[in-house]
A and B are shown apart, each in its own frame.
Chain A
Amino acid sequence: QKEVEQNSGPLSVPEGAIASLNCTYSDRGSQSFFWYRQYSGKSPELIMFIYSNGDKEDGRFTAQLNKASQYVSLLIRDSQPSDSATYLCAVNGGGGSNYKLTFGKGTLLTVNP
């Protein structure tokens, strides 16, 4: 059973701070890693994806991947109240099932003004 684990939170940070969201996965064959943001009552939307070890930056967001440790994280710099949402980590199946995404249950982030 492929698993993706996230701290459910809530993670509370003040406006302007760095929010750090973490995710671990069990399938060593996984190739692609995604971070989705889901506002309450809305559908998930992709904010970052990463395929290679290291860091990938996009504006205020940085995704970090360490395949040896089976660990992926998302950093949000200069957090804004509009960043308050649930963040879902998703991992592809790898190998013959690389089209299936397994989602973590998400971390609820609250950014306080």
Chain B
Amino acid sequence: DAGVIQSPRHEVTEMGQEVTLRCKPISGHDYLFWYRQTMMRGLELLIYFNNNVPIDDSGMPEDRFSAKMPNASFSTLKIQPSEPRDSAVYFCASSLSAVYEQYFGPGTRLTVT
């Protein structure tokens, strides 16, 4: 299995631009999670999906952030407009079940200048 796939691996953009991060979970996994990691705040859960349905988006910081999962093999996290404080590493993770191990993708390092 290829594991969780994320793209792009690095993204540098200017403040105000739209940013779209992509994730392909492990085939057969019913749960998909989006995290953000910074030195100050650590690893924070932004939103998670079960069977393509958003279940809890309470971690999404602002309305500028949105996430979708149109099918079982693809999810996006969009930031519009982006701000310098959004600079972080964004991880996607998937899991076979709610209480089982979460497998993390390689992450997308986002820099907003």
**Footprint of B on A, CB under 8 Å?**
31-32, 34, 42-46, 49, 88, 92, 97-106
Contacts and interface: CB of A to CB of B under 8 A. Distances in A.
DSSP majority for the B interface? strand
Contacts of A92: 99
Given A43-B104, A43-B106, A105 B42 contact: yes
B99 A31 contact: yes
B25 interface: no
B99 A44 contact: no
A45 B31 contact: no
A43 B91 contact: yes
A104 to B, nearest CB: 7
B98 A44 contact: no
Contacts of B106: 42-43
A34 B99 CA distance: 10
A43 to B, nearest CB: 4
B42 A100 contact: no
Contacts of A88: 42-43
A32 B99 contact: yes
A44 B107 CA distance: 10
Contacts of B104: 43-45
30 contacts: A32-B99, A34-B101, A42-B106, A43-B91, A43-B104, A43-B105, A43-B106, A44-B43, A44-B104, A45-B104, A46-B101, A46-B103, A97-B56, A98-B98, A98-B99, A99-B31, A99-B48, A99-B50, A99-B98, A99-B99, A100-B45, A101-B33, A101-B102, A103-B42, A103-B43, A103-B44, A104-B42, A105-B41, A105-B42, A106-B43
Interface in B48-70: 48, 50, 55-56
